[in-house]
Structure formats: C-alpha cells, structure tokens
Amino acid sequence: MALRIEGSRSVEIAAPPTLVWQLVADVTRIGQLSPITVAARWLPPHQGPVVGARFQGTNRLPLVRRWTSVATVTDAQPGVRFAFAVGRDPARPNTLWSYDLEPAPLGCRVTERWQMVREPWIVLLYYRLVGQADRVARGVEQTLARLKAAAEAQARPDPADPRRTP
C-alpha cells in the first residue's frame, strides 16, 4: 500500500530565533502547541534538548484513544534547528520531524517538516481511512499558529515593566 505522508509548513514570527527555538525544543510544552501530541516528557538521563536525548510523547487521534511513542533528538542547534526521529530505533525511524529557523524581517521564519518513512500496513490503512495526510498538515498549521502566538507574547515587552526602554 503506497501512502506517503510528508510535507512542510512555514510561518514568520515576530520574535528572535533563540526564543522560538527554546519553545520548540522544550518538548514538555508540546501539549500547549500541538492538537495531536498532548504531552511529552524527557526520558532519563536527559532533561533537555541535546542530540541523543530521548522523550516520550502521548498522542491522540479520532477512533484511537491515545498512544505513546518514543523519539530521539537528532539535531539541536539553538536558534537554528531542532529535529527528532520517532521510533524505538532512531536509525530506523517511523517518522522524522524538524523545525528550521532562519532570520526574517520581523524576527524569524520557522519551517516545520514531517516525513512518515516506516509505518506498518495496518497504520497506513488507518491513516488512509481518517485522511491522515490532511490531518497532519492541519495539525502542523495549528501548531505553528500557537507557537507564533506564544513566542510573540513572550517577545513583546510588558508596558508595566519598569526595566523596559522607551
């Protein structure tokens, strides 16, 4: 059964790349950003975004209550790139995800990419039934919109802060 699910979406964010990267790379915040991955936690011995660190994500889709997956960080360049491979063996991942950041006139441009590379046939059948290719694209768009809102809220100076400069 041939079904390839891959793509990318981008958004420009009025915030510095380092701030946006911190939000993306803090997987414990994914539940605030993603409509599909509702929670994640770092697995020992790591507690943060470094190459080789592993984390467990809890996901939710229609017809399937919840499931967990394990991911391994494959790239962690602050302000530039955060990427991870989903699957027990990072050398043979089920899905690849990445966030690339580049300077832009307002602050930075973030591009989120995904590629499902190895899924069992039963999973592919389920994905076809629920329109997973479109669902993932819509989920990424929602994630990027929430990331933009969170980053811009943090980047905006608080007018009541006495340390702010006019």
Distance between CA atoms of 156 and 149, rounded to whole angstroms? Answer: 11
In a domain, 22, yes or no: yes
Show the domain range for 77.
16-154
Q: What's the number of domains the chain is made of?
A: 1
Task: Tell which phi-psi region holds residue 74, choosing left (phi > 0), alpha (psi between -120 and 50) or beta.
Answer: alpha
Helical spans, DSSP H, in 7-130: 17-25, 30-33, 121-130
| 38 belongs to a structural domain | yes
Report yes or no on 132 lying in a domain: yes
Give the domain CATH number at 130: 3.30.530.20
pLDDT in tens, 33-75: 999 899 999 999 999 999 999 999 998 876 667 889 999 999 9
In this prediction, residue 158 has a pLDDT band, given cuts at 50, 70 and 90, of: low
Does residue 8 lie in a domain region? Answer: no
Q: Is residue 11 part of a domain?
A: no
Return all residues near 160 (Cβ < 8 A) that are at least 6 apart: none
Q: Is the residue at 162 inside a domain?
A: no
